[in-house]
Amino acid sequence: MNIAETIERLGALILERVFALGGFLLFLLNALFYAVLPPYKPRLIIRQVRQIGADSMFLIILIAAFTGMVLGLQGYKTLSLFGSEGALGILVALALVRELGPVLAALMITARAGSAMAAELGSMQATEQIDALTVMAVNPVQYLVSPRIIAGIIAFPLLTVIFDVVGIIGGYLVGVGLMGAPAGPYFNGIKANMGSHDIASSLYKALVFGVVVMWVCCYKGYNAQRMATGVSRATTEAVVLSSVLILAWDYVLTSILL
């Protein structure tokens, strides 16, 4: 009896998780399906690109500058032990373009725009605004989720590129300007050793992170529970799950792209 009950509960738990996972996947497929289905609303996409992209730009530039600067500092210290300060440029650039650019940019956008998105959709759910869309025969996924996912696909690679460039300049300012690494080899090293493959892998990662972050944040907000703690819980879960998935996908993508 007791064993049967335990098994029953375990089964119910597993079923629940499987259904939740299925719902999670269907949510993305639904959003992508409605993204290609008319009516098209470029206005909504542009607004989201502004919220995710333009409004996050200052933060991205700030974080990128400090990341590049600290790389310049640490890189110079380490390389100078071996007398190879000339390699500072390529060290900073590869670290940024291959890993830190896409990952840190995605984490920053999650913290800034993703959390806001989950909270916004969550409170729309809590105050029946999403139901109101349905009743007015406006598909809420098409109106709310699809534009956000498309905007993520547009904004993430652009912000990642900005992150990479600003970071490389930050590394130059500290490594060359402050610490005195040779100026010429900094950019020459980058030019000689960085291939289009490195840049492409940076963009692939940004693209995947864009979809993952928007997917998770929209899903969590859209399915927030209708109570006072529902919105805050949705926001927290969105940020935590996005961050974990960014790093997990980063490993997967790196092992494929490297």
Partner 1 sequence: MNEAQNGNPSSANAVEVRGLKRRFGRQRVLDGVDLDCPSGQITTIVGPSGEGKTVLLKHINLLLRPDAGTITIEGTEVTRLGALALNAVREKFGMLFQAGALFDSMSVFENVAFPLVEKTNLTIQEIEQRVHETLDAVGLKGMDSKFPSEISGGMQKRVALARALVRKPRILMLDEPTTGLDPTRTGAIHELIRNTQKNFGLSAVMVSHDVPAVFEISDRIAFIKQGKIRLAGTPAEVLGANDEVFDRFLKGRASGEDAEQAAMA
**109 or 130: CB nearest partner 1:** 130
Using only C-alpha atoms, the chain has a radius of gyration, in whole angstroms, of 22
Task: Quote the least distance from Cβ 137 to partner 1, whole Å.
Answer: 4
**55 or 99: CB nearest partner 1:** 55
Rounded to an integer, what distance in angstroms lies between the CA atom of residue 133 and that of residue 151? 21
**29 or 135: CB nearest partner 1:** 135
* DSSP helix/strand/coil, 232: helix
Task: Quote the least distance from Cβ 221 to partner 1, whole Å.
Answer: 14
Q: Residue type at 121? A: L
Rounded to an integer, what distance in angstroms lies between the CA atom of residue 151 and that of residue 52? 7
- The residue with tokens 């210290």 is 77
Task: Quote the least distance from Cβ 141 to partner 1, whole Å.
Answer: 11
Rounded to an integer, what distance in angstroms lies between the CA atom of residue 229 and that of residue 235? 10
Task: Quote the least distance from Cβ 197 to partner 1, whole Å.
Answer: 42
Rounded to an integer, what distance in angstroms lies between the CA atom of residue 221 and that of residue 115? 9
**32 or 73: CB nearest partner 1:** 32
Half-sphere exposure of 189 (CA within 13 A, CB side): 19
**36 or 137: CB nearest partner 1:** 137
Task: Quote the least distance from Cβ 144 to partner 1, whole Å.
Answer: 11
The contact set with partner 1 (CB under 8 A) reads: 120, 124, 127-129, 131-132, 134-138, 143
Residue 197, Cα to own-chain centre: how many angstroms?
21
